């Protein structure tokens, strides 16, 4: 009751059928941070609970071992949160707590509000969720790139195989980690709506409603191999655009389709020249885009590429397309022939 009087404890929900209530309260460590000034009480929620914010810009060495309730994977920030976002349970084993990942990010790039975070083992998508949570707390514009396959667990794949459903079949792919967990979790976290379109119930530990979502946006891409003959015919130029945008830092807008002899969206950090005969006009246009840091030149001649690259501004990092991809393809073909 002493904690409740200070707004450090409150009843968050009740179950009329069972006659039980859920009580949330701040741990001793959090209360000590409030008393020391590391955490500030900014307001009170609808149940009288305190809403907290941390000091920005303060740096300290992280502990070798953290022992905090909010970091528990099976707690409110892990299994329970994922089930709430997806509207169903037991779809992903032992998801990390979003608060554990958020705290790790705070230590690593808390003072870099424009950081780019890459997670090559995305799992349920906790890293993107934690990035959005950290941005919401300090007004950052951090971005995250998640990479995952669409693996189907053996316990699910075997029964599907007995029914004649195998990899590549839409019914099989729908059971994969990306389609069943990662994508719907990211969409629900950002929009505040579960896969059925209903507002996600509940709040984060700082009092923010799940249903409020986040202002971030997300795009989803499938990584596939391209036929080198199609590349020579220019059939994959549209598929190239997301890759060069990512390679240049995933900043600003990007073209969705190739519509001219080059791609150079205003405010983006990349540019692509698809036709070397238009280099002079491309170079003039490049002078009007000081934000561009990466340029890709499509040509089959290394001599021509070197000449064009030498005429670009010194700030530009240039690359030749599609030389590297085609060389890699030919090496692999020879290796396995």
Has residue 78 been placed in a domain? yes
Q: What per-residue confidence (pLDDT) applies to 337?
A: 42
332, two tokens: 């692999």
The answer on 241 and 147 residing in a single domain is no
| Whether residues 93 and 34 fall in one domain | no
Residues 68 and 203 in one domain: yes
Contact 124, 92 (CB under 8 A): yes
Co-location of 45 and 83 in the same domain: no
Do residue 311 and residue 279 come from a single domain?
yes
Residues 6+ apart with CB under 8 A from 313: 286, 287
Residue 66 and residue 23 share a domain: no
Distance CA 199, CA 18 (A): 25
The pLDDT of residue 324:
60
Q: What is the 3-state secondary structure (H, E, C) of 1-68?
A: CHHHHHCCEEEEEEECCCCEEEEEECCHHHHHHHHHCCEEEEEECCCCCEEEEECCCCCCCCCCCCCC
Look at residue 269 and tell me if it is in a domain: yes
Tokens 């071992």 found at: 65
Q: Do the Cβ atoms of 231 and 222 come closer than 8 Å?
A: no
The two three-digit tokens of residue 291, written as one number: 């934000």
| Shared domain check, 202 and 65 | yes
Domain count, the chain: 3
Q: What is the pLDDT of residue 227?
A: 76
Q: What is the pLDDT of residue 141?
A: 92
Whether the CB-CB separation of 237 and 258 falls below 8 Å is answered with yes
Query: Per residue in 230-281, pLDDT tens?
Result: 777 777 788 888 888 988 988 888 898 888 899 999 889 999 999 899 999 9
- Is 222 within the bounds of a domain? no
- CA–CA separation, 272 and 258 (whole Å): 10
Q: What local confidence, expressed as pLDDT, does residue 304 receive? A: 93
Which range (36-40, 192-196, 293-297) has the least confidence?
36-40
Tell whether 219 is covered by a domain: no
> Is 125 inside any structural domain?
yes
Please determine, for residue 145, whether its predicted confidence score (pLDDT) is greater than 50: yes
Domain hosting 293: range is 228-336
Q: What is the pLDDT of residue 305?
A: 93
Token representation of residue 108: 């690593």
Structure confidence at residue 64 (pLDDT): 78
Query: Would you say residue 218 lies in a domain?
Result: no
Q: What is the pLDDT of residue 336?
A: 42
What does the alpha-carbon distance between residue 188 and residue 88 come to, in Å, rounded to a whole number?
13
Choosing from 164, 182, 212, the residue where a domain stops is 212
pLDDT digits (tens, 9 = 90+) for 166-219: 988 999 999 999 999 999 999 999 999 999 999 999 999 988 999 999 999 999
Is the model's pLDDT at 7 over the cut of 50?
yes
Reported pTM: 0.72
Q: What is the pLDDT of residue 195?
A: 95
Same domain, 78 and 143: yes
Q: Which residue has the higher pLDDT, 337 or 135?
A: 135
Domain end, chosen from 212, 237, 257, is at: 212
pLDDT band at 225 (very low <50, low <70, confident <90, very high): confident
Which of 63-77, 153-167, 323-337 has the lowest average pLDDT? Answer: 323-337
Same domain, residue pair 42 and 10: yes
Q: Which of 178, 212, 246 is the last residue of a domain?
A: 212
Check residue 211 and give its pLDDT. 95
Kindly state whether residues 104 and 189 are assigned to the same domain: yes
Q: How confident is the model at residue 325 (pLDDT cuts 50, 70, 90)?
A: low
Confidence of residue 90 (pLDDT cuts 50, 70, 90): confident
101 and 185 both lie in a single domain:
yes
pLDDT, averaged across the chain? 87
49, 86: one domain: no
Does 223 reside within a domain?
A: no
**What pLDDT, on the 0 to 100 scale, is given for residue 60?**
64
Q: Is residue 221 part of a domain?
A: no
Q: Which helix (H) or strand (E) holds 262?
A: strand 262-263
Proportion of the chain above pLDDT 90, given as a percent: 50
């Amino acid at each position: 009751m002493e904690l409740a009087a200070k707004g450090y404890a409150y009843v968050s929900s009740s179950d009329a059928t069972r006659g039980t209530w859920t009580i949330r309260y701040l741990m001793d460590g959090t209360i000590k941070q409030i008393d020391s000034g590391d955490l500030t009480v900014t307001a009170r929620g609808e149940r009288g609970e305190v809403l907290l914010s941390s000091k920005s810009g303060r740096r300290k060495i992280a502990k070798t071992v953290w022992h905090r309730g909010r970091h528990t994977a099976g707690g409110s920030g892990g299994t329970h949160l994922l089930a709430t976002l997806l509207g169903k349970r037991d779809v992903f084993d032992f998801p990390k707590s979003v608060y554990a990942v958020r705290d790790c990010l705070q230590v690593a790039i808390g003072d870099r509000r424009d950081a780019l975070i890459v997670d090559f083992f995305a799992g349920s998508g906790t890293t993107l969720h934690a990035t959005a949570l950290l941005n919401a707390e300090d007004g950052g514009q951090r971005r995250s790139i998640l990479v995952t396959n669409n693996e189907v667990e053996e316990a699910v794949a075997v029964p599907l195989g007995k029914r004649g459903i195998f990899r590549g079949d839409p019914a099989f792919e729908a059971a994969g980690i990306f389609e069943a967990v990662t994508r719907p979790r990211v969409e629900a976290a950002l929009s505040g709506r579960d896969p059925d379109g209903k507002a996600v119930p509940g709040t984060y530990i700082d009092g923010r409603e799940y249903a409020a979502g986040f202002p971030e946006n997300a795009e989803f891409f499938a990584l596939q191999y391209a036929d080198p003959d199609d590349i020579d015919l220019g059939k994959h130029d549209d598929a190239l655009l997301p890759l060069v945008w990512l390679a240049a830092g995933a900043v600003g807008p990007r073209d969705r389709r190739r519509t001219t002899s080059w791609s150079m969206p205003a405010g983006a950090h990349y540019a692509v020249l698809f036709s070397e005969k238009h280099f002079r006009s491309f170079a003039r246009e490049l002078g009007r885009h000081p934000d561009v840091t990466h340029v890709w030149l499509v040509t089959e001649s290394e001599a021509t590429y070197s000449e064009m690259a030498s005429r670009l501004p010194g700030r530009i990092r240039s690359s030749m397309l599609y030389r590297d991809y085609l060389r890699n393809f030919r090496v692999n073909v020879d290796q396995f022939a």
